[in-house]
Amino acid sequence: MKTRIAASLAGALLLAGLGIAPAAPAAPHIPATVSYCGIVWGSMADSVAGQGTATISNVRTGRHDCFDRMVIDLNGKVKGYDVRYVSAVYTEGQGKHVPLTGAADLRITLKAPAYTSSGTPTYYPSNRLNVRNVSNYSTFKQVAFLGSYEGQSSFGLGVRARLPFRTFVLSDADGGSRMVIDVAHRW
């Protein structure tokens, strides 16, 4: 033991005399945790307070390699929204239960009506229970329009499981905006 310490001390003194610092011990290699497709989203509610004058004009969906996407087009700026997993979804105003296909229900509420100030509809899907055909999607199972009441509109998104999601808003050059909801294919 004394011989090993003496050799280490002699080596350190030799290196110091040459102006070279001894190498620090190597840190242990810890492999990085790699998330699915780099997704770092969670499944907790996402909410922004505010009430605007935007109205809903359209809903679109799309499939991507790592997630399914829902886009809500608005005439005007999105000011407030709430997106969260719930045990069940209900129609706006009447409060009727709307069963959704899938193992988890995501409720999307926007502080924006689907009608003008004079009551003319700005968004009225022909089939409120199946707004978009998502039959071949990995995560989405059903998109339902829950209605619009007192300046607020809601959608129910039936998904395969309670999976990570993200929400964000994009502004358009013409003054409109888009509310985007992405739900990952898996954790």
In a domain, 134, yes or no: yes
Q: Would residue 37 count as lying in a domain?
A: no
Q: Model-level pTM?
A: 0.80
Query: Which tens digits make up the pLDDT trace of 76-119?
Result: 999 899 999 999 999 999 999 999 999 999 999 999 999 999 99
- CATH number of residue 65's parent domain: 2.60.40.3500
96, part of any domain: yes
Q: Does a structural domain hold residue 178?
A: yes
Q: Please tell me the predicted confidence (pLDDT) of residue 187.
A: 87
In the numeric block, which tokens belong to residue 25? 């011990």
Evaluate whether 19 touches 139 at the Cβ level (below 8 Å): no
Name the token pair of 111.
């502080």
Integer Cα distance of 14 and 63 in angstroms: 64
Domain annotation covers residue 142: yes
* Residue 137 covered by a domain: yes
Would 21 be classed as within a structural domain?
no
At a CB cut-off of 8 Å and minimum separation 6, what does 148 contact?
56, 92, 113, 114, 115, 123, 154
Give per-residue pLDDT as tens, 140-176.
999 999 999 999 999 999 999 999 999 999 999 999 9
Domain with 81, as residue range(s), is 42-184
Structural domain tally of the chain? Answer: 1
Give the confidence band of 12 by pLDDT, cuts at 50, 70, 90. Answer: very low
34 part of a folded domain: no
**For position 26, what pLDDT does the model report?**
54
